[in-house]
Amino acid sequence: MSFFGFKTRLKSQPSNAGKLGEERAKDYLQNKGMKLVARNFGCRWGELDLIMRDDETLVIVEVRVRSSAEYGLAHETVNHKKQLKIIKATKFYIQQENWWGDVRFDVVAVVPTGEDKFSIEHIKDAFSA
């Protein structure tokens, strides 16, 4: 059920690995100078993992966490269908926030490589609207 596009039902909580991966991605991007605006923004069209600012650009970040690359790389799972969901949710978000500036879509792939160690791949401008 939704009310003006906002989700009104409880959604499933991300796994511990997903939460940790998202936190690692956020820390990585903040260390690169980006600022956190919001996280896990949900609406009827989907969820935006991280919303960041890179100078004057609003950056929508899709975080992908994989335990290994056995079934493909994490960023390869952001297919066309997923991209469309992210774009629709972004359009709703920028309308709600009255954002008129530039928007960029990034993907951050996080793969655990050992105890509390991660490999992080940041793909800027991974796709466009």
Class of domain 2-7+14-104+111-127: alpha beta
Chain mean pLDDT for the chain:
85
- pLDDT for 72 equals 63
- Provide the β-strand partners of residue 5: none
Q: Cα(57)–Cα(53) distance, rounded to whole angstroms?
A: 6
Residues in the chain: 129
pTM of the model: 0.83
Question: Tokens at residue 62, please?
Answer: 């899709």
21-80 residue pLDDT tens:
899 999 999 999 999 999 999 999 999 999 999 999 999 999 998 776 666 666 677 899
pLDDT at 2 > cutoff 70: no
Residue 7 carries which side chain, given as an amino acid letter?
Answer: K
